[in-house]
Amino acid sequence: MKTMFLELISRSSHATSFMKEEIIHICRKLPKRSPGSAGERTTAEYMARTLKERCGCGEPSVESFKEHPASFYGYCRISGVFDSLSCLGFFIHPVISLISGCISLFLFTVFFVLYIPVIDWLFPEREGTNVTAVRPCSGEVKRRVFINGHIDAAWEFTLNYHFGGIIFEIPNVTALIGVVFYMVVSICTLSGAGDWTGTAARWGILFLPFFIAIFFTFNPNRVVDGANDNLSGCYMGLALLREMEMNGIVLENTEVGVVLTGSEEAGLRGAKAWCNVHGNEYQDVPTYIICFDTIHDPKYLMVNERDLNGTVKADPYLSKAFLQASADVGVQCKGDMFLYLEALRTALLLRREAFDL
């Protein structure tokens, strides 16, 4: 079986041509795919047909879920209001500044970091779309592997688009520092710390332009094509299943499939909805989900042991197995610092065991 997959890799140009043609078709011919949009639904149905007709996946499941996708860019404007109030409100009364800062930090932590939909009710309800498809095995199912990508595309990150990633991050980080600054100054003022707090608050007005910049994080009127982020991830799965179908490869005890989730750009809404529905469904055998996102430049290929905000930890065994598989076929893929720390810990344990012997 390993030989079969090595042969597939040697003919990878067929798969990449298929991916390129499909991605171009979706970007040029189908509607824009903002979270919860008709374009997201249309693309999901198109991919489901491809999985059925060209990838040997039987009848893929296309499921809808309720969401409020506008809350994610709407949060930036709400946050910008409270950030600005933490500054300007101080000169009315420090309590206004302190309360505004607390609300801002609360929303940042709960909504933006943890993705808990505390303000979703303020925004219109939409329907997102997920797709699940499985290529069956020939014998008893003993394990299952899903490849995941997200169907939707992002709204334009305005500052990132015009000035690059560093300029995009500066207002967000500086605004966070500014909010904490005014909270500290407000507490010191209310506790009678001295006249220096007024001077500090006036200097703090320098944070105001960064608070205002938060309003312009997203452009909700422009949706990017999302060829890399993340049609590339979706078609990693579709291309593999298509190549298996074209070459008559049916695994004996392993099901291979895809989970294509919607509305990732609205705060992982599709992934959360899929887990709520299917979380207990695939407990019968070991089931692995490999998530691909923004597959573009080989020098940036890496495996994360956890998501970027640190709230979801990936399986370390699967992460290390993926790195090993990449090395076996000569693909340069880096691990994140958590994987390196895990490797160091393993090496130290092995060394200690050797000394114990």
- The token pair that represents 160 in the structure block: 């990132």
**Which residues are CB-contacts of 90 (< 8 A; sequence separation ≥ 6)?**
96, 97, 182, 185, 186, 189, 201, 204
**Which residues are CB-contacts of 310 (< 8 A; sequence separation ≥ 6)?**
none
In percent, the amount of the chain with pLDDT more than 90 equals: 62
**Which residues are CB-contacts of 349 (< 8 A; sequence separation ≥ 6)?**
none
CB 87 within 8 A of CB 97: yes
Predicted pLDDT at 351: 45
CA torsion sign, 17 to 23 to 27 to 29? Answer: positive
From the list 44, 84, 96, 57, the residue with the least C-alpha distance to 261 is 44
Predicted pLDDT at 353: 45
Whole-number Å distance between alpha carbons of 357 and 273: 50
Residue by residue, DSSP assigns 171-207 as HHHHHHHHHHHHHHHHHHHHTT--THHHHHHHHGGGG
Instruction: Report pLDDT digits (tens) over 195-231.
Output: 899 999 999 999 999 999 888 888 888 999 999 999 9
Pairing relationship of beta strands 143-150 and 155-157 according to DSSP bridges? unpaired
- Please report the beta strands in 96-197, taking only residues with DSSP state E, as ranges in sequence order: 126-135, 143-150, 155-157
Let me know if 102 is exposed, middle or buried by CB neighbors in 10 A (0-12, 13-18, 19+): middle
Maximum Cα–Cα distance across the chain:
79
Whole-number Å distance between alpha carbons of 164 and 161: 6
Whole-number Å distance between alpha carbons of 234 and 267: 18
Q: Where are the domains of the chain?
A: 2-66+127-154+225-296, 71-121+158-219
Whole-number Å distance between alpha carbons of 178 and 173: 9
Mean pLDDT, rounded, for 81-102: 95
Whole-number Å distance between alpha carbons of 240 and 244: 6
CB 229 within 8 A of CB 154: yes
Phi, psi angles (nearest 5°) of residue 56: 65, 40
Would you say residue 354 has pLDDT above 50?
no
Does CATH number 3.40.630.10 belong to domain 2-66+127-154+225-296?
yes
Q: Which residue has the higher pLDDT, 6 or 174?
A: 174
CB 95 within 8 A of CB 186: yes
Mean pLDDT, rounded, for 133-157: 94
Would you say residue 7 has pLDDT above 80?
no
Would you say residue 258 has pLDDT above 70?
yes
What average pLDDT is seen over the chain?
88
In percent, the amount of the chain with pLDDT more than 70 equals: 91
